[in-house]
Amino acid sequence: MNQVLSVISSRRSHRAYKQDQLTQEQIDILLKAGMDSPSAVNRQPWHFTVVQNQELLDELNRAVWEETMKQNPEGRSGRFNDPDFHVFYHAPTVIFISADRDNYWYHMDSGIACQNICLAAESIGLGTVILGMPRAAFQNEKAEEFRKALLFPETHDFTIAIAVGIPDDNKPAHLHAKDRISYVR
Ligand SMILES: Cc1cc2nc3c(=O)[nH]c(=O)nc-3n(C[C@H](O)[C@H](O)[C@H](O)COP(=O)(O)O)c2cc1C
C-alpha cells in the first residue's frame, strides 16, 4: 500500500488525548495541509482559528451542553448521558474552521480542508477527531461572544472543528456500511 492509502486507512476519530502540546512546526504542517486543499473556483472561503485556551474550550463546551439539553432526548447523542463528556475531549489544540456563508460551497470546501488536516495529522503521528457538535454553541445566546473570541471574520460562520493531539486511546477502524456502492456500466 502506498503512503497516502496507508494514512487514509489508519486515521481514526480519537476521543482521548495526552496533554502534550503540539509544536508550532506541527501546527504549521496542519494549516498548510488545510490551505493546500482545493476549493470551488479557488475561492478559499475558509478561516482557521487555532485554539489552545482551555478556558474558552470549557465555555464552548458548557454552551453546547446548554443548547443540546434543550433538544428532544431522542435526537441527542448518547454521549450526553455521560456527565463527564467534554465536547473537545480535553485535546490540547482545537482548530476551528469558519467560512464565508455567502459562498455556495462553503461547507463542502471546509469539509475538504478538514479532512486534509486530519490526514496530515495522522501522517505526522498526531490524532484528530472532527467535531460538528460545537455548532450548537453558535445557536446559543453567547454565539456572538464566541464568534468574536474565535476571531471569525465578519462574513464567516462556524463550519467544523478538529481536535488534535497525541492520541491516548485505541480506536478500532469503523466497519464499512453495506450497499453504499453501485456501478452503472
Ligand atoms: C461532519 C462530522 C462531524 C462529526 N462530529 C463529531 C462530534 O461532534 N463528536 C465526535 O465525537 N465525533 C464526531 N465525528 C466523528 C464521527 O463520529 C466518526 O468519523 C465516525 O464515527 C467514524 O469513525 P472514524 O472517524 O474513527 O472512522 C464527526 C465526523 C464528521 C465527518
For the segment 123-149, what is each residue's pLDDT rounded down to a tens digit? 999 999 999 999 999 999 999 999 999
Put simply, whether the predicted model's pTM sits higher than 0.95 gets the answer yes
Rounded distance from Cα 99 to ligand 1 centre (Å): 20
Give the per-residue pLDDT at 71. 87
Closest to 125 measured CA to CA, from 5, 14, 1, 2: 14
Question: For residues 30 and 35, what is the distance between their CA atoms, to the nearest angstrom?
Answer: 9
- Positions of the chain with pLDDT under 50: none
Assigned C-alpha cell, 14: 480519537
Rounded distance from Cα 59 to ligand 1 centre (Å): 21
Q: Residue 4: which H helix or E strand, with range?
A: helix 3-10
Determine if ligand 1 sits within 6 Å of the CB of residue 171: yes
Question: For residues 34 and 92, what is the distance between their CA atoms, to the nearest angstrom?
Answer: 19
The domains located in the chain, with CATH, are: 20-165 (3.40.109.10)
101 vs 7, 15, 159, CA distance in Å? 31, 29, 9
Nearest ligand 1 atom to alpha carbon 14: 26
Rounded distance from Cα 108 to ligand 1 centre (Å): 16
Question: For residues 177 and 32, what is the distance between their CA atoms, to the nearest angstrom?
Answer: 32
Q: Helix (H, G, I), strand (E, B), or coil: what is residue 46?
A: strand
Q: Whose CA is nearest to atom 28 of ligand 1?
A: 130
